[in-house]
Amino acid sequence: MIKIALDAMGGDCGPKTNIAGAILATKAYPIEIILVGDKDLIDIELSKHSKSDISKLHLRHASEVIETAESPTKAFRKKKDSSIHVGLNLVKDKQADGFVSTGNTGAVLAASTFILGRSKDIERPGLAGIFPSKTKPFVILDLGSNVDCKPQHLVEFAIMGDFFAQFILERENPKIGLLSIGEEKDKGNALTQATFPLLESLPFNFIGNIEAKEITLGKVDVVVCDGFVGNNMLKFGEGISKLFSSFFKEEADRSLLSK
Amino acid sequence: MIKIALDAMGGDCGPKTNIAGAILATKAYPIEIILVGDKDLIDIELSKHSKSDISKLHLRHASEVIETAESPTKAFRKKKDSSIHVGLNLVKDKQADGFVSTGNTGAVLAASTFILGRSKDIERPGLAGIFPSKTKPFVILDLGSNVDCKPQHLVEFAIMGDFFAQFILERENPKIGLLSIGEEKDKGNALTQATFPLLESLPFNFIGNIEAKEITLGKVDVVVCDGFVGNNMLKFGEGISKLFSSFFKEEADRSLLSK
């Protein structure tokens, strides 16, 4: 059975939320989960659930926690017994098939690179995210791990995105788009113009440039961009959503007050 | 009295909308407007309004129109009697104090640069836009006229944005932020890292890096970024807004159907 190591200490809510999620996951999928983190804190949370609910959960103690605000590289070097280190080492030692963490993104990225290493021919790891669209979700990368990219890095993101879309989003022959500011081949900046012919020459379903206003229509399964642009778009999307929420809240308050 | 040349042919709706807007503008501000475009089409629209409404509107014939889909530089070279050329020449010849067009953005940019020239010490024109925020609107530039920027270009955008915020948005000592993916000086890509110290050395209110999720909170009056990032954010914002609208529409339809 597939075993997933889960960083029980990651995220803003700690073991409570991670364990609740782990229970849901073991009910939804044929997997076992190894909770990695502070044994005492995890035991307290586990004791709140029924024996059958936690029957597919295991525990691996880790004495340290990397906080969200810590410097990823410093924390990686200092806290060798963090839940992130211990979890990734389970994967390295083949005791787990994968590692999931909602903790310090930079630390997970740094630790993954150093502990697991990179795939052959992939120079840079990528940060991918799944975005909603009008039809179906798509994957976008890079979202900030590489802020100054060369064309080859975007090609690597496209290849990883293609696999992600096939095996995680279950898309056949995924459509891959290069984020740019115009659909024509010669539109965009120096980076996208140099990347376009490289993507064209690869044996996958590259549909050309795609504009940011088109990605939310669900026209592609994979959006490729450099991490500076991707991260800004991700955060701008977050900002806009909050802005809309605040407008709605104001409007709702006003309409309740007027009644 | 201030005279504004208006491209009566610009935009998707032609003279009708431009003239309706011109009438509103002459009522709201102490200005006169010179409508530039096809005399016959403009006359037809003018005849639908009362004499007093159009008392501050003038007419200057232009025999050609640059369409939205045309190549900006080709159209600029071929259509020398376009409403964009004629309007900008009115500014050049001091018969108008400014030119407004909702037409082909690239053509307006190219024509402005060639007909009016650039200000001393400004290498690149900038495309600015006004965005809403939770508190007050802010100006963001560049939105796509310069997709591969050097630090000096971002400095120029900051200077132009500072003037825009002072004189158009009426902000005292405008707060200027450099769009980046982290607030610290050393966060961002090579371009923002090189631009930060240049902005720090200038005698205006540079508040440092600002993240895209913070700009919608209204923390700054001016956001500076390169045109590739700015244009992608602008279009992504458009895409997200449409996505939200479609979700609301679906929800509204569903709730109407269920009644």
Say if A190 is an interface residue toward chain B (CB within 8 Å).
yes
Three-class DSSP labels, B185-243: CCCCCHHHHHHHHHHHCCCCCEEEEECHHHHCCCCCCEEECCHHHHHHHHHHHHHHHHH
Q: Among the CATH numbers 1.10.260.40, 1.10.287.3510, 3.30.365.10, 3.40.50.10750, which is that of A128-234? A: 3.40.50.10750
Q: Round to the nearest angstrom and report the end-to-end CA distance of chain A.
A: 58
Q: What is the pLDDT of residue B252?
A: 78
Test A188 with B147 for CB contact under 8 angstroms: yes
| Minimal CA separation from A57 to chain B, in Å | 37
Whether residue A232 and residue B216 make contact (CB cut-off 8 A), yes or no, is: no
Cβ partners under 8 Å of residue A208, min gap 6: A177, A178, A183, A185, A196
Q: Name the average pLDDT for chain B.
A: 93
| CB within 8 Å: B236 and A147 | no
What pLDDT is stored for residue B259 in this prediction? 59
Question: What is the pLDDT at residue A28?
Answer: 96
Give B206-235 pLDDT, tens digit per residue: 999 999 999 999 999 999 999 999 999 999
Closest CA in chain B for residue A180: B232
d(CA B234, CA A168): 30
Inform me whether the C-beta atom of residue A168 falls under 8 Å from chain B C-beta atoms: no
Quick check: B236 and A215 CB within 8 A? yes
> How far apart (Å, rounded) are the C-alpha atoms in residues A163 and A173?
10
Task: Check CB contact of A183 with chain B, cutoff 8 Å.
Answer: no
Which chain A residue is nearest to residue B243, measuring alpha carbons?
A134
List the one residue out of A166, A151, A153, A152 whose CA is nearest residue A204: A166
- Coil, helix or strand at residue A252: helix
A179 — contact with chain B (CB < 8 Å)?
yes
Q: Which residue has the tokens 């690597």?
A: A156
Give residue A252's identity as a one-letter amino acid code.
Answer: A
pLDDT for B68-126, tens place per residue?
888 888 998 999 999 999 999 999 999 999 999 999 988 999 999 999 998 888 998 99
* Inter-chain residue contact A181 with B231, CB threshold 8 Å: yes
| Contact status of A148 with chain B (Cβ, < 8 Å) | yes
pLDDT in tens, B121-137: 899 899 999 999 999 99
Q: Which amino acid is at B229?
A: V
Tell me whether residues A232 and B190 touch, CB distance under 8 A.
no
Q: Which fold has domain A2-116?
A: Isopropylmalate Dehydrogenase (3.40.718)
Q: Which residue type is seen at B185?
A: K
Is residue A194 less than 8 Å (CB to CB) from chain B?
A: no
The answer to whether the Cβ–Cβ distance between B216 and A132 falls below 8 Å is: no
Residues 210-239 of B with CB under 8 A from A: 211-217, 225, 227-229, 231-239
Put simply, the answer to whether B240 touches A241 (Cβ < 8 Å) is yes
Query: What's the pLDDT tens digit per position in B13-52?
Result: 899 999 999 999 999 999 999 999 999 999 999 999 999 9
SS3 B45: helix
pLDDT in tens, A35-73: 999 999 999 999 999 999 999 999 999 999 999 888 888
Q: Which residues contact B195 (CB under 8 A, 6 or more apart)?
A: B151, B154, B155, B178, B224
Q: How far is B257 from chain A (nearest CA, A)?
A: 21
Distance from CA of B146 to the nearest CA of A (A): 9
Q: Is B141 left (phi over 0), alpha (psi -120 to 50) or beta?
A: beta
Angstrom CA distances, B178 to B109, B141, B152, B196, B219, stand at 24, 10, 13, 8, 12
Among B95, B75, B94, CA closest to B84: B75
Cβ-based contacts of A196 with chain B (< 8 Å): none
B220: left (phi over 0), alpha (psi -120 to 50) or beta: beta
Contact state of A212 with B235 under an 8 Å Cβ cutoff: yes
User: In angstroms, what separates the C-alpha of A89 from chain B's closest C-alpha?
Assistant: 30
One-letter amino acid at A254 equals R
Report in angstroms the alpha-carbon separations of A246 from B135, B217, B248.
Answer: 11, 10, 16
B191: closest chain A residue by CA: A148
Residue range(s) of every CATH 3.40.50.10750 domain in chain A: 128-234
pLDDT(A258) > 80: no
Count interface pairs A-B at CB distance under 8 A: 110
Dihedral pair phi/psi, residue B206, rounded to 5°: -80, 120
Interface membership of B250 toward A (CB under 8 Å): no
Q: Is B10 on the interface with A (CB under 8 A)?
A: no
The two most distant CA atoms of chain A are separated, in Å, by: 65
**Minimal Cα–Cα distance from A199 to chain B, Å?**
20
Label residue A259 by pLDDT band (50, 70, 90): low
Residues of chain B with CATH 3.40.718.10: 2-116
